[in-house]
Structure 1
Amino acid sequence: MATRALILVEGDPTGTGLLYIQAAQRLGLHPITLSADPARYEYLAAEKYEAIRVDTDNLDALIRECSRLGATYDVAGITSSLEAFYATIGKLCQYFDLPGPNPTSIERCCEKFSQRQLLAAAGVPVPAYRLAANAADVQSSAAEIGLPVILKPAVGAGSCGVRLCRNADEVAEHTTYLLGGKHIWRSLPRMLVEEFAEGPQYNLEVMENEVIGVAAADYGPPHFVCREHIYPALLTDDEHERIADISLNCLRALGLGWGPANIELRWTERGPVVIEVNPRLAGSPVPQLVQAAYGVDLVSEHIKLVIGEEWNLRKRRSHTAAARYLIPDCDGTLDWIDGDSRAAAMSGVAEVKLFVEAKTPIIRKGDYRDRIGQILAASPSRALTEATLQRAVDLIDWSITPFPTVGEQEQSLGPTLSTPASAAPDER
């Protein structure tokens, strides 16, 4: 009998890709990663997981490779932990007659303007928004909506290129950044200009039509890099029901009835307003937090769905789980970072992970890549979880030497010596 295999298209350096591999192995599957550059995922080489180099932006190349693998393995399912490849996953699953997401729905959802249109048409509360293709469009859209506004790429994830602009100068500055060649576009360079929905943020994890958990999330402007997640959010029953109803309306409006989804809302003066619907499982450490809080292994249950087996989201406990992300406050060279071992040894700390080492250049980008580490804590008590997390965070410290300014660089070089043209060779 052929070995059952799970094909993973690309991975995730932050950890979710490894979670999928480990969960696949626990389920008796042989995980195979297809990647344009397998070397970028350190965990593949470290544990000698099977990986195959293939152009993952080329659907035909992926079909050929999956067909070739099908001659050796019983391909039970195909999936990915990355949103950028989720529509491709849907197309592959359709081609090979495997369970998977609707690629058309995924593509519409990942295009933020189309997502906004579909949600608004279905009566889902969303911020005021406009689509802009150039600086003049951005300027007029910001004037129509009223400052402050959020300016973001129409396609993207991880807060890449997203910024709160409080005045006209910041609007112009960020427009120049997005259109000036520094931002890497995943599609045509189109921007979304949005009303700034102020209020506490809540993130939901949904599988099929079941809300698994609601987290309180702290995203600090102007770039909205997440600083903390905590499950469960402190909500009344009515508030929880209202958020859950709106979230399920989102899935219906977007045609996302299959698989996992991650939904972000803010509770504003007019109630819950949907910020974004992501048609895939949230990245690490959200799956670990959900498992610590509720005893539900989202990654394993998603894989069961992918391979057509019975899945179960029944909660096995009701704990509080929280994550804090370590984010530097300046650019420069990381001199040292320590305290992680002491933090990891604390009772109630579930994970301490550093993403950088000493002497690493720190260049903040205003998105998820700014994180230099994360700490997870969990316990039956909310007060204990929060106190444990804070004590663990306080144990970790680091030092960053800012990069020298242009003036400092010139000064360090000293005066420039010139050689007189009339000087003899031995005098030069």
Structure 2
Amino acid sequence: MPKRALILVEGHRNSGPLYVQAAQRLGLHPITLAADPAQYDYLAEESIEAIRVDTDNFDALTHVCSRLRATYDIAGITGFAGRDESFYVTVAKLCRHFDLPGPNPASIARCSDKFTQRQFLAQAGVPVPAYRLAATAMEVESAAAEIGLPVILKPAEGSGSSGVRLCRDMDELAEHTTYLLEGMYIWRSSPKILVEEFAKGPFYETVTMGDAVIADGAADFDPPPHFVPCASMFPAPLTEEEHERIADVSLHCLQALDLGWGPANIEFRWTKRGPVVIEVNARLPGWTAPQLIQLAYGVDIVNEHIKLVIGHECDLRATQSHISAARFLVPERDGILDRIEGVILAAAVPGVVEVRFYVEPETPIVRKGDDRDRIGHVIAASPDHTRTEAILQRAIDLIGWSITPLPLRGEKK
């Protein structure tokens, strides 16, 4: 009898190992298809089968999967977005091609284009910021004038806050428009910029599976103009009425976008007019969110997603009620990371679940103004909000690192 395999298209530094481990616990053989498997360290470390293939080429992917079917019983296919949310459209098409459980490719496509997504949400009466689509510097300037400064400029496709910036005046608007349109930002297709109203207020998110809201959380960011996450917490510190309100808006989003299958991650700002939807991602949240949700609610969302992918029934019922939180370690300048200390001491603090650096000493640090700027995290959990925050702060205070500035051009090292 052939071994049952789970196909993982590409990988992810944080979520990838969770999917591999969950697949193995479910008795599946994980196989990663990637353009460059070597970029995912965990594949070699765990001796995970990996195949090099052009993951932008649908025909190449179907060819590899067809060849694998001669040896394995392919139970399901899923994947990771990397820097481009539209990548999930390819995964959805693969599921449909091989008659496997998966989302509707058309629903994923309308969600991955932020402008199209906004149109569907606005037409359904979901509260969203004012927005315009622009392809030239003149159109950007005109859109910003109509909406009113400050505005957010962002690529209409992408993820991880890449290319996203708050523009507070015309100089910042012109500077970031030049960055996006004149070759410094890498586009996968013709440039499309979303110009949107800056929705001021605390950031919240919900995580859904099918038509069920599993969890809600809060996050904080480093100071603008960029949006680099520095903290995350589940559940969000909201009243019962506020929890219900963002859950209702979340379900309204799913209906508007026809996202009736699989996971979604919906981001909000709570403004003067209540929760305003910033973005709907047709996937699970990345980074520490799966761990935080399991610690807070007792629900392993990666495990339950894989069960859905292979055609099994999910169990999304909460089995505990804790407060979990993460602090992200973000450098304040570019340079060479020459020292990391205090990790063992921080990890020994009662209530700390994980202390992790993503980089080693002697690594060059070049900040990009998005989630790639994070160099590590600390996770803690307890039954109480105040206690969890105190645990995190105690651990953070024990951690130290230093960055030697890069020499200026012409200076001797």
Q: Give TM class, smaller chain.
A: over 0.9
Q: Please, which moves more after superposition, 186-195 or 285-294? A: 186-195
Q: 1:135 aligns with which of 134, 137, 141?
A: 137
Query: Retained in 2: the 8 A contact 1:105–1:254?
Result: yes
Letter in 2 for 1:312: D
Pairing 1:56–2:55 present: yes
- Matched with 2:18 is 19
CA RMSD, Structure 1 to Structure 2 (Å): 1.1
Q: Residue 351 of structure 1: CA displacement?
A: 0.8
Q: Residue 405 of structure 1: CA displacement?
A: 2.8
Pairing 1:248–2:251 present: yes
Letter in 1 for 2:49: E
Aligned residues: 409
Ranges of 4+ aligned residues in structure 1 off by more than 4 Å: none
Q: 1:219 aligns with which of 218, 221, 231?
A: 221
Q: Residue 74 of structure 1: CA displacement?
A: 0.7
Secondary structure at 2:241 match in 1: helix
Letter in 2 for 1:26: R
Q: 1:275 aligns with which of 278, 285, 298?
A: 278
Deviations 1:348-404 (A, max 9, x none): 111111011111111000001000101100111211111001111111111112223
Letter in 2 for 1:383: T
For residues 297 and 284 of structure 1, the distance between their equivalents in structure 2, rounded to whole angstroms, comes to 14
- Matched with 2:88 is 86
- Matched with 2:187 is 185
Secondary structure at 2:214 match in 1: strand
Query: Retained in 1: the 8 A contact 2:204–2:216?
Result: yes
TM-score (norm 1): 0.94
Query: Retained in 1: the 8 A contact 2:151–2:198?
Result: yes
- Matched with 1:107 is 109
Letter in 2 for 1:250: C
Pairing 1:393–2:392 present: no
- Matched with 2:299 is 296
For residues 330 and 278 of structure 1, the distance between their equivalents in structure 2, rounded to whole angstroms, comes to 30
* Structure 1 residues 1-400: aligned runs within 5 Å: 1-13=1-13, 15-82=14-81, 83-220=85-222, 221-400=224-403
TM-score (norm 2): 0.97
For residues 385 and 234 of structure 1, the distance between their equivalents in structure 2, rounded to whole angstroms, comes to 12
For residues 299 and 187 of structure 2, the distance between their equivalents in structure 1, rounded to whole angstroms, comes to 35
Query: Retained in 1: the 8 A contact 2:340–2:361?
Result: yes
Query: Retained in 2: the 8 A contact 1:151–1:194?
Result: yes
Q: Residue 84 of structure 1: CA displacement?
A: 4.3
For residues 164 and 321 of structure 1, the distance between their equivalents in structure 2, rounded to whole angstroms, comes to 29
Letter in 1 for 2:299: V
For residues 138 and 87 of structure 2, the distance between their equivalents in structure 1, rounded to whole angstroms, comes to 32
For residues 352 and 302 of structure 2, the distance between their equivalents in structure 1, rounded to whole angstroms, comes to 21
How much identity, in percent, do the aligned residues show? 67
Q: Residue 85 of structure 1: CA displacement?
A: 2.4
Deviations 1:128-187 (A, max 9, x none): 000010111111111110000000001000000000000000000001111121111133
For residues 90 and 150 of structure 1, the distance between their equivalents in structure 2, rounded to whole angstroms, comes to 30
For residues 53 and 403 of structure 2, the distance between their equivalents in structure 1, rounded to whole angstroms, comes to 38
Query: Retained in 2: the 8 A contact 1:156–1:186?
Result: no
Q: Residue 223 of structure 1: CA displacement?
A: 0.9
Q: Residue 115 of structure 1: CA displacement?
A: 0.5
Query: Retained in 1: the 8 A contact 2:86–2:113?
Result: no
Q: For the pair shown, which has the larger CA radius of gyration, 1 or 2?
A: 1
Letter in 2 for 1:98: L
Secondary structure at 2:76 match in 1: strand
Give 5+ residue unaligned stretches, structure 2. none
Deviations 1:82-107 (A, max 9, x none): 24421111101111111001111111
Letter in 2 for 1:179: L
